[in-house]
Amino acid sequence: MDLFDDLPVEAAAQVLAPGAMLLRAFAWNEAAQLLQATEAVLAQAPLRHMQTPGGYTMSVSTSSCGALGWVSDARGYRYAACDPVSGQTWPAMPECFLALARRAAAQAGYADFRPEACLINQYVPGAKLSLHQDRDERDLDAPIVSVSLGLPAIFLFGGTERSQRPQRYRLAHGDVVVWGGPARLAFHGVAPLEEGAHALLGRRRINLTFRRVRREG
């Protein structure tokens, strides 16, 4: 008899809420490769602190890769084909990013996920992301896949009304979450990052979010 007979090949997904699936350590084995690809993207499109439409500077620093990148300035939030810093198109999405995002989406029940944008968020201790909804994408039927690397963070997951008190989840290195269905429009954010040092990333957390922006067809 094999002691491991009862374990699934991929650890079971934990359902955080209808449509929100946490895949613990799903990217663990590829983390170093993902990090290396991230650094290559950031060499072409450096991290920057975006301005919110309200005139605040974000504590999180951001870049993108793929056909579209996410930008924010006094004119608002939007997806754009060119990086406003360089005037060039965003770096291509690395193959290892695409493969991981597709595998995670499929595991959560979304076949053939074809993200057009990967938003790269970097947090250093103290950086946070206030409660918000992601609704700059035209395709709200596609899920968002998020990958956490480096220092752990407390992720705040609320309801579809800002007034609902958020639940708190700790997201650690290698954790992947797929947000679709009713969870797609939930309010969410990240509590101020705690001080720490990660073996691979040092004093920071990087979060990759894969998005389908335009509707297909």
Q: Which residues bind Fe ion (CB under 5 A)?
A: 134
Q: For residue 191, which of 168, 163, 162, 158 has the smallest C-alpha distance?
A: 168
For residue 17, what are the CA distances in angstroms to 13, 22, 27, 49? 12, 10, 21, 31
Q: What CA–CA distance (Å, rounded) separates 100 from 13?
A: 16
- Using alpha carbons, list the distances in angstroms from residue 72 to 49, 78, 102, 108, 135: 10, 6, 27, 30, 13
Rounded to the nearest whole angstrom, what is the least distance from the CB of residue 178 to ligand MD3 in the complex?
9
* 8 A C-beta contact, residue 143 and residue 166: no
Q: Applying CB under 6 A, does 177 fall inside the site for ligand MD3?
A: yes
Comparing CB distances to ligand MD3, the nearer of 1 and 195 is 195
Under the criterion CB under 6 A, does residue 122 sit at the interface with ligand MD3? no
179 binds ligand MD3 (CB under 6 A): yes
> Is 121 a residue that touches ligand MD3 (CB under 6 A)?
yes
Single out the residue of 22, 21, 18, 58 nearest to residue 160, CA to CA: 18
Rule CB under 6 A: is residue 119 a binding residue for ligand MD3? Answer: yes
Judged by CB under 6 A, the stretch of 24-32, 49-57, 86-94, 186-194 that binds ligand MD3 is 186-194
Q: Which residue in the set 186, 204, 210, 213 belongs to the binding site for ligand MD3 (CB under 6 A)?
A: 186
With H, G, I as helix, E, B as strand and everything else as coil, classify residue 211: strand
Please, what is the minimum distance in Å from the beta carbon of residue 3 to ligand MD3? 35
Alpha helices in the chain (DSSP H): 31-44, 95-107
Q: Does 118 contact ligand MD3 by CB under 6 A?
A: no
By three-state DSSP, how is residue 154 classified?
Answer: strand
> What tokens appear for 63 in the block?
């870049």
Q: Which CB sits closer to ligand MD3, 91 or 187?
A: 187
In angstroms, the Cα distances linking 39 to 44, 91, 173 are: 9, 11, 16
Residue 34 binds which of Fe ion, ligand MD3, none (CB < 5-8 A, kind-dependent): none
Decide whether 37 or 151 has the Cβ nearer to ligand MD3. Answer: 151
- Residue 120 contact among Fe ion, ligand MD3, none, beta carbon within 5 to 8 Å by kind: none
CB of 129 to ligand MD3, least distance (A): 5
**Residue numbers of the site for ligand MD3 (CB under 6 A)?**
119, 121, 129, 134, 144, 146, 177, 179, 183-184, 186, 188, 190, 207, 209
